[in-house]
Amino acid sequence: MNADQIKLIRAMAGLSQIEFAKMLNVDKTHLSKWERGVLKPSIKSVNKIVSLVGSDNVRRLNALVHSLTMVELQESIKRKFQNKKGEYKYEQRK
């Protein structure tokens, strides 16, 4: 489970870092570090998050994050090509 997923789960649950940390029985500073990608949660903590959220919801969240990442990547690539349109010409082979 990565930082963005943890942050998104907490935000979707409408919880503060303090509230979510208490539910996970961890210190708020640890949760903050997880959400910033400074530390990774232990397997035990990940399992606790999954048990609170539900494994089906975690799978849905993973699919959502993956699809959003793909859309962002696609848009970024399109912007790069649009920025280069005037600089490069495609020449067909004869």
| Residue ranges covered by each domain of the chain | 3-84
Please count the other Cβ atoms lying within 10 Å of the Cβ belonging to residue 57.
Answer: 13
The topology (CATH level 3) of 3-84 is 434 Repressor (Amino-terminal Domain) (1.10.260)
pLDDT in tens, the chain (94 residues): 899 899 989 999 999 999 999 999 999 999 999 999 999 999 999 999 999 999 999 999 888 877 877 778 788 888 877 776 655 555 555 5
Burial class (CB in 10 A: 0-12, 13-18, 19+), 34: buried
